[in-house]
Amino acid sequence: MNITCKLSVCPVFELLERGEVLEVPTDTPLSESKAWTYFRDVIQGIEYLHYQRIIHRDIKPSNLLLGEDGCVQIGDFGVCNEFHGSDASLSNTAGTPAFMAPEALNNSTFSGKGQLVDCCQLHLTRQF
């Protein structure tokens, strides 16, 4: 495939036609084993993002997509941030309120660590 782009950065994403993990039709309920496999996929995805110095800031069920290979991938990078050093210091809130850290909701001058924000959202997503 040859793609020509006049911009210096041209993101190309895989089309995940199966859609959101929780919206994929199945004949049986999601097994505990499969749920843990999906959760592991998300943890590995977040670990990779943090290794690449990216904070997602909007981890939630509707941003977890199922690939044809059965692996879960993270989508919607609209509010993500790049950071330098060991972690991001966030000075504002972003993301979906239902999946935000409580301290981010209660404090208009929120100052938090980016990696912890993603981890809190992951925990809330797991409880969903």
Catalytic hit among 27, 58, 76, 118: 58
Residue 87 appears among annotated catalytic residues:
no
CA–CA dist 77, 72 (Å, integer): 15
pLDDT tens figures, 63-122: 999 999 999 999 999 888 888 877 666 666 777 888 877 767 766 555 667 788 888 889
- What is each CA distance from 12 to 4, 73, 111, in whole angstroms? 12, 15, 32
Look at the alpha carbons of 96, 124, 26, 14 in this order and tell me if their dihedral is positive or negative.
positive
| Domains of the chain, residue spans | 32-127
CATH for 32-127, options being 3.40.50.620, 3.30.70.2860, 1.10.510.10, 1.25.60.10: 1.10.510.10
Q: What is the pLDDT of residues 28-62, one digit of tens each?
A: 888 899 999 999 999 999 999 999 999 898 999 99
